[in-house]
A and B are shown apart, each in its own frame.
Chain A
Amino acid sequence: MKERFSFIFLTAGIGFFITGFIFQMMGPLVFLRDIPMKSIEDLVREDADAEFYQLAEDYPEEFKKAFGEPTPVAYSQALRIGRDVYIAEGCWHCHSQYVRPTANEAVRYGAVSLASEYQNELQMPQMFGTRRVGPDLIREAGVHSNDWHVAHFYDPVAIQPGSVMPSYSWFYDEKGRPNKKGLAIVSYVQWLGSWRR
């Protein structure tokens, strides 16, 4: 009886998987359910003095071409594109996005991460990451200037000797100034942790 198809299929195949699903996956969901879910528009509203608006003054022509006027609507668009670039380029495989309450990480990176910081549209799918070839990025907002990021994405080794980060020259137009992708990824990275400045 125990070694028949139906028993194994129903008990091990379906039953045990659902048990695991309830304990390991529904558990966190239930415990975090009261944290309000934020849309990108909510996030943009909370970050009124974002580096994004500064970009409009730093790169006026390119900015106008990519996003038009520096409005909250343009900012939410930039964040969305920036997050997609962050995923497509695999940034999240070398940079994590959470500060642990251990290993002196609060000293190195800043405040320890809370679950509420991740209850938003830009963390869907979540970008926690599992490896740090480069440093954690969740407290990155304002740590470096826009110019630093623009130069760094173009040639990381020139800015940070010994770095193993690749160059992302396709974030730039033929004049070497950031294009839409470049402006978006800088906006996204400068957004990470802006709520804890």
Chain B
Amino acid sequence: MRNHQTLVEYGIVTAHIIAGLSFLVLAITAGLLYSLQFIHTYPLSGVEFFSPGRVRMLHTNVGLYGWILNGLLAGLYWVVPRVSGYQVLSKRLSWFIFWVLQVLIAATAIGILGGYAQGIEFGETPLFVDPFIVFGLILIAVNFYSPIIKTSREGPLYVSLWYFIGALTWIIMVYMMGNYVPQFFVPGAAGAAISGNFIHDLVGLLVTPLGWGLMYFFVPTIIRKPIWSHSLSLMGFWGIAFFYPMQGMHHFMWSPVPMHVQYSAQVATIAVEVVVTSVLANFIMTLRGNGDYLRTSYPIRWFYTGMIFYWIICFQCAVQVTLTAQKIIHFTDWVVGHAHLVMFGVFSFWIMGIITEIWPKLTGREWHSQALNGWAYWLNTIGISIMFIDLVIVGIVQGFLWFSLNPFMESVRLSVPFWFVRTLSGLMIAAGILTLIFNMWMTARRKG
């Protein structure tokens, strides 16, 4: 009965991967388009529907909800039945959720371009879309709670499932809090505290726990070795669960939000760096003695590159969150570089690693070309590294130009060469993604 072939619905996993990659292409197109505005070559200037400000919101929202959420759900449909030993609640419900999600993301994209964006960062999903998203998130939670509860009756749960329980529960509350409370109930500085938490909780309480949960499944199954330390897994989960909801306010340091809230957010942020280091240590020690996998297995390479990037951004976060660093780097491109490394360098890398691992199993065919997998990996890794370093440097340049009271336009003029490099690195990333998609297409077309 507990045969993997009958437990996992392959169709829904494939569907989420394809939908996710389609939205990724849209998000990257939007990002590239928007970046052209910064080097004075925007091709659609004067077209209301494709105004750069709207295209920017399209980039972030489709990137998060369209690509990352779809990608993580594909991972969940693959992992949860295997780890729990039970099917998700209902196959029909899975497909219903799938279509609801895609329609909502399409509605979000059209709504934002049409001028119905909501004034909340990463919550620009139009107000008329929000209730349906909450409804969809509840359905997703119910669908995955079912196998987890069943297996919980039989014994302790594996660490992946702890993360999934947390994320699926948090995201419903996070989404309602972020989209409704500052919009209808709480103005100004208190509203900013909530918006800051919302931005951060989307990363910290949705994407991060789902991502780590998936890593705790895929890494041991690929290298055929258990996770190094159960205690460190416990510490990582409970540390992240406790400190992440307490730190979102660090998006508005030095703002009119009461200072003690800013201080506490700072402490919680630095605490998370400690916790993340423990999680990283656990994974590095798991790989010890099997380092050859980094050379031979592309999924492992994607995963561990993402983890190193994750440690870098968490370390960066612990530094940039201090009030001293905030003086210079807040409001600059430093933060933009940080956000890109988190969303692309970590979580997108993990999803692409998962795709590299399961696509041959989904299609029943070997990869068309391992060399192309290598190209996809290197184009993306070099692309995002250049983008990150470039934006961090230009952020420091902008920060000090403002601090030393140069005319504002000086900071724009000096940034343009850096923004040019940013567009080039974006093109590299786009090439990497298209390589992966081409390889997937050729693999699926192969004669089994």
Contact = CB atoms under 8 A, between A and B. Distances in A.
The answer on A and B forming one complex is yes
Interface of A: 2-6, 8-9, 12-14, 16-17, 19-21, 23-25, 27-29, 31-32, 37, 86-94, 96, 98, 100-105, 107-108, 113-115, 117-121, 123-135, 157, 160-164, 166-170
B192 interface: yes
Interface string B393-417: 0000001001111001100110010
A188 to B, nearest CB: 13
Contacts of B255: 98, 100, 113, 128
A197 to B, nearest CB: 19
Interface stretch (B48-56, B292-300, B430-438): B48-56
Contact of A9 (B169, B244, B245, B257): B169
B119 interface: yes
Given A17-B169, A118-B188, 19 more contacts: A2-B234, A3-B157, A9-B165, A12-B238, A12-B241, A23-B261, A27-B258, A28-B189, A28-B258, A86-B119, A90-B57, A100-B330, A113-B256, A118-B191, A118-B192, A124-B188, A126-B188, A129-B331, A167-B45
A192 to B, nearest CB: 14
5 contacts: A5-B157, A20-B248, A104-B405, A130-B335, A135-B408
Given A123-B191, A126-B195, A166-B37, A131 B331 contact: yes
A124 B184 contact: yes
B310 to A, nearest CB: 20
Contact of A24 (B189, B264, B412): B264
B236 interface: no
Contacts of B416: 162, 164
Contacts of B199: 130
Contact of A166 (B42, B245, B265): B42
A127 B120 CA distance: 8
Nearest to A91: B53
Contacts of B245: 16-17, 19-21, 24
B57 A93 contact: yes
B197 to A, nearest CB: 5
A93 B53 contact: yes
Most buried by A among B116, B149, B194, B413: B194
Interface of B: 37-38, 40, 42, 45-46, 48, 51-54, 56-57, 115-121, 145, 148-149, 152, 156-157, 162, 165-166, 169-170, 173-174, 177, 181-184, 186-195, 197, 199, 205, 234, 237-238, 241-242, 244-249, 251-252, 254-258, 260-261, 264-265, 323, 326-328, 330-332, 335-336, 399, 402-405, 408-409, 412-413, 416
B118 A126 contact: no
Contacts of A125: 118-120, 182-183, 191, 195
B119 A127 contact: yes
Contact of A164 (B38, B120, B244): B38
A162 B156 contact: no
Given A14-B169, A125-B120, A132 B332 contact: yes
A120 B189 CA distance: 10
Contact of B56 (A9, A90, A96, A113): A90
B134 to A, nearest CB: 15
Contact of B336 (A3, A32, A131): A131
B118 to A, nearest CB: 7
Contacts of A119: 187-189
B258 A131 contact: no
Contact of B177 (A4, A21, A93): A21
B48 A124 contact: no
Contacts of B248: 20, 24
Given A28-B190, A123-B188, A115 B258 contact: yes
Contact of B241 (A3, A16, A123): A16
Contacts of B170: 13, 17
B252 A128 contact: yes
7 nearest CB pairs, A to B: A20-B245, A118-B188, A90-B53, A13-B169, A3-B156, A5-B152, A87-B119
Contacts of A124: 182-184, 186-188, 191
A150 B40 CA distance: 21
Contacts of B246: 19-20, 23-24
Highest count of chain A CB atoms <10 Å: which of B244, B257, B265: B257
Contacts of B54: 88-90
Nearest to A31: B258
A27 B261 contact: yes
**Most B-side CB within 10 Å, residue of A21, A25, A108, A123:** A25
Nearest to A83: B119
A121 B157 contact: no
